[in-house]
Amino acid sequence: MINRRQWLHQLGLALSAFAQPKNALAVPSSNEQPKPQANNKKPALALADYEPGSMLHAQETFVERAAFAVVDVHTHITVSAKSQNGVALAAERSYLGKPDELLSVMDRKNIRAMVNLTGGYDDGLVEVITKYDKAFQGVFTASPSLAIRDSWSPIIHAFRRMPLSVHSAREQRA
C-alpha cells in the first residue's frame, strides 16, 4: 500500500518530466554540434583568467614588538645548497640569514629563541650547529629530524635551555 507522501513524490516526478522541453532530455548525436543558446551572452571563462577577489575584509594590525617574549618554533634559517623539486640532494647548507642579522631582528621583535626546522644532516648539520646553536646557546636550535614523532623534540630542548633574554645569551658568549 502506498502512503500519501510516496504518492505525492511520484506525482511530482511525473509532472516535472512532462514539464521539460522536448529537446532538454535529448542526447545529441556525435556529428551534431551543440547550438549556443541566445541567453548565454558571456563567453566561458578560462581558468587561467580567473582572478577571484578576496572576500575577507578585516582591519590589519601591525605589531612592531611582541608584548611578551616569543619562541619562533617554525623557522627556516638554512636550506639545502642543492635541491630539486624541494628535495635536498646534498648535505651542504645555504644560509638565509647571518646570526648577527637575525639577533638584531629578534631584539626588535622580542623573539627569545628560534627553532630552525631545516638544519640539515651530516656535515651540513654540524656546520649549522657550530655557526648558530653553539655560538648562541639557547637562542638557535637546529632540527635535523624529519620524523613526525620527533618534531617536538627541538622545541622542548629550546625551552629547557632558554636564557632570560637574547642579551643574556650574547653575554654568555663573551
**E strand or H helix at 95:** strand 93-95
The pTM score is 0.52
The H-assigned helical ranges of the chain are: 4-19, 99-109, 122-128, 153-161, 166-173
- Reply yes or no on whether the pLDDT at 11 is more than 50: yes
Please give the average per-residue pLDDT across 64-90, as a whole number: 89
Q: Mind listing the pLDDT tens digit for each residue in 96-137?
A: 999 999 999 999 999 999 999 888 888 888 899 999 999 998
Q: Could you tell me which residues are beta bridge partners of residue 75?
A: 116
